[in-house]
Amino acid sequence: MQAGSGIQENLQGLLGVTSALVAVFDADDRLQFANESFRSVFFVGADEYPTWEEIFRRNHAAGRGAVIKATSIDAWIASVSSRRGKTRHRSFESDIIGGKWLWVTETVQSNGWMLLVASDITSISSTDRELRIDRDIALKAAQTDELTGISNRRHIFELLHQICQDKDAQPEVHICACLMDIDHFKSINDTWGHQAGDSVLANLARSVRSGIRLKDGFGRVGGEEFLLILKDCSIKSAQKQLIRLMDRIANSSLLEGRPEVTLTMSAGLTDIRTGDTTETIYSRCDKALYEAKAKGRDCICINIHDRISLVRTDLEPETSPRDRKPGVPGRAA
């Protein structure tokens, strides 16, 4: 940058007059900067700095902004959040209520901050648009768990593979992975039916997804088993975050119409090291999860260098008080 060139002033001026939508979101996905074009299209006031989720929820409720083709805004938010902010670059087409089409590019820094730039492509020939839209829909379907709307097994393992490569390139960065499993899930299906079980899985997935950072990965790997990837997170920090998530789940009603039914989870946690592969990471998590189940469930086991230690979530002072004894009335046992 040339000294004394007035670059800052001119950049501000250009951002004010360009038709391109420009916005910057921080690691918590809260808007930190947006030019007039972005604020106009997405109905954000000049002095407002909402989160990405808040922008889309209120616009959806008002019938404006982006076209959202989903029966549930919660499911749509969970699905998009499973892909948004997970890779350095992402581009896609988006249509706006009223007929406008945008080409959107998201660029993410290692610290989680995101630059969003969108250009109006409405006037460009739409001959190949249907093909591109069909491609985007197919890509989304290939990455999304149909029941829960979060990452499916294939996508979460692709993210884990990328994490391994990032770790090799930046060995000083702390990253953790955790395998989580619903305790006694079979009793839900046996007592209330498989449709109730499906509802529990979907509600739990959305609850966890909304309780973690945008840059973290979360996906369903099969049945009632989920994989969580925590970036820029030490084992100690991961442990605290897991306790908060597990308390959140245990203190929530995840089965509609049955507030007395609550659930707990068991978790197997490990750190990601240089030279790791998806197989070695999953194996350590799986061994720790198996140990957590063997120790009575509703707890976290940590696998460090194949040495497994138990963390009982009810001994953590930061958690909210709740009875964790197995078989208490109202708990799915």
Q: Quick one: pLDDT at residue 316? A: 44
- Say what the pTM is: 0.75
pLDDT tens figures, 149-208: 899 999 999 999 999 998 888 889 999 999 999 999 999 888 888 998 999 999 999 899
Beta-bridge partners for 303: 270, 308
Query: Structural domains in the chain?
Result: 7-143 (3.30.450.20), 153-315 (3.30.70.270)
What does DSSP assign to residue 313? Answer: G
| Residue whose C-alpha is closest to residue 164's, from 274, 271, 82 | 274
- Report whether pLDDT(327) > 50: no
Other Cβ atoms within 10 Å of 174 Cβ, number? 16
d(CA 270, CA 42): 40
How many angstroms separate the CA atoms of 83 and 30, rounded? 17
Q: What mean pLDDT is reported for the chain?
A: 87
> CB-based contacts of 271: which residues, under 8 Å, 6+ apart?
174, 175, 176, 234, 235, 304
With residue 211 as reference, give the H or E element that holds it.
Answer: none
- Place 126 in a pLDDT band, splitting at 50, 70 and 90: low
Q: How far apart are CA 60 and CA 313, in angstroms?
A: 38
Sign of CA dihedral 25, 26, 28, 31: negative
* Separation of alpha carbons 246 and 265, rounded Å: 6
How confident is residue 127, by pLDDT bands cut at 50, 70 and 90? low
Sequence-distant (≥ 6) Cβ neighbours of residue 250 within 8 angstroms: 262, 263, 264, 265, 298, 322, 324
pLDDT at 315 over 60: no
| Alpha-carbon 12 to chain mean position | 32
Contact in structure between 100 and 64 (CB atoms under 8 Å): no
In the structure, what pLDDT confidence band is assigned to residue 243 with cuts at 50, 70 and 90? Answer: very high
CB neighbour class for 305 (10 Å; exposed up to 12, middle 13-18, buried from 19): exposed
User: Are the C-beta atoms of 264 and 331 separated by less than 8 Å?
Assistant: yes
66 to each of 86, 117, 241, how far by Cα in Å?
21, 15, 32
Catalytic residues: 224
| Residue range 81-103, pLDDT digits in tens | 988 998 889 998 899 999 899 99
207 Cβ contact list (under 8 Å, min separation 6): 248, 249, 252, 254
